[in-house]
Amino acid sequence: MKIEGFELRRVAMPLVSPFRTSFGTQTARDILLVKAVADAASGWGECVTLPDPIYSPEYTEGAVDVMKRFLIPALAAAGVSDAPSVAEALKKFKSHRMAKGALEMAVLDAELRAEGRSFARELGSVHDRVPCGVSVGIMDSIPQLLDAVGGYLDAGYVRIKLKIEPGWDIEPVRAVRERFGDDVLLQVDANTAYTLGDARHLAKLDAFDLLLIEQPLEEEDLIGHADLAKVVKTPICLDETITSAQTAAAAIRLGATQVINIKPGRVGGYLEARRIHDLAAAHGVPVWCGGMVESGIGRAANVALASLPGFTLPGDVSASDRFYATDVTPPFVMHDGHLGVPQGPGLGVEPIPEILDEITTSVEWVPAA
């Protein structure tokens, strides 16, 4: 397969409601889509950067710049013709995993479309559908939170994740448990909002039989998470900390994590995500697939990843209408709390041309020759 170039397309997608976390509130997504154009087929990737470097050091304008100035020229110079070669060609450039992951995803989609194979099959899927969890943002009041959670449970979601921060943690969790009972699969996500000094406070969450507490401390604080795990009985799950199979191995060895949230964009792509899955499975560590408010393009790939055998906990693979009134692809619709795994060539989905044109804010062509 000869890659001719990459189309960098920005699309604006408003959210159905504001989504607030400990690091900010999103009301719309400015998404960078990457299209790899090759002689045999074209493929799509999605870059999960945010506009500002608040979740990770990466941000969307920076991703565009590094792709144009460094990453795509390096792929061209190396004559890359398949997805496994992408990481090797780009390894001399430090970090920028989300940008690298988007390029690898687009090349992998093109390669698999040309060969008539699906993303799910390529990654090692063992399920034809995956359970859906939903991430519930920080609300203005507990009654508002309870209404939101009730709506998601009525819709069929099988797991609820509550975003927390100092001042919005124990009481919201208590209220959800008291209203909806102990049978609801419930977990919390702090997005690095706490310090080790909050250990005794976080231990109060043990009373609510949570699946896990996600990323309570700063991403670089492996030792702190290991120490916290000695105080808190609720399993610690790392998210922002896990940037590669190497960091995952270190976290497991130190006892800093008992569960891992795998976000493909954060770790540099779906092939590295699969390596982390395999590593965790070898150590008996459960994993689940995190979300970054993706469009249907990223959602399709996440659903495929979540169908691997080690993904034993429901992930943030919600239906399209959780975030978007109109998705860029045919919408993912939940049935009995699950989403079907696309089985067509590549991602198994493509953007709807008229919708794509309507939401596009800019398009730039970068040749790979």
pLDDT digits (tens, 9 = 90+) for 58-88: 999 999 999 999 999 999 999 999 999 999 9
pLDDT digits (tens, 9 = 90+) for 106-120: 999 999 999 999 999
Q: What pLDDT, on the 0 to 100 scale, is given for residue 342?
A: 97
Written as one letter, the residue type at 236 is I
- How many Cβ atoms are within 10 Å of 140's Cβ, its own excluded? 8
Which residue ranges make up each domain of the chain?
Answer: 3-116+353-367, 121-340
Out of 35, 100, 161, 263, the active site residue is 263
What's the fold here for domain 3-116+353-367? Enolase-like; domain 1 (3.30.390)
Q: What pLDDT, on the 0 to 100 scale, is given for residue 148?
A: 97
The pair of structure tokens assigned to 287 is 């994993």
pLDDT digits (tens, 9 = 90+) for 301-336: 999 999 999 999 999 999 999 999 999 999 999 999
- DSSP E strands, the chain: 3-21, 24-38, 42-47, 129-131, 133-136, 159-163, 185-189, 213-214, 236-238, 259-262, 287-289, 338-340, 360-367
pLDDT digits (tens, 9 = 90+) for 95-108: 999 999 999 999 99
Out of 163, 204, 230, 233, the active site residue is 163
For residue 166, name the pLDDT band (cuts at 50, 70, 90): very high
CATH of domain 121-340: 3.20.20.120
Q: What pLDDT, on the 0 to 100 scale, is given for residue 280?
A: 98
163 tagged catalytic: yes
Report the distance separating Cα 1 and Cα 136, nearest Å: 42
Residue 23 clears pLDDT 80, i.e. is over it: no
Give the alpha-carbon dihedral of 12, 191, 332, 276, to 10 degrees. 120
For residue 22, name the pLDDT band (cuts at 50, 70, 90): confident
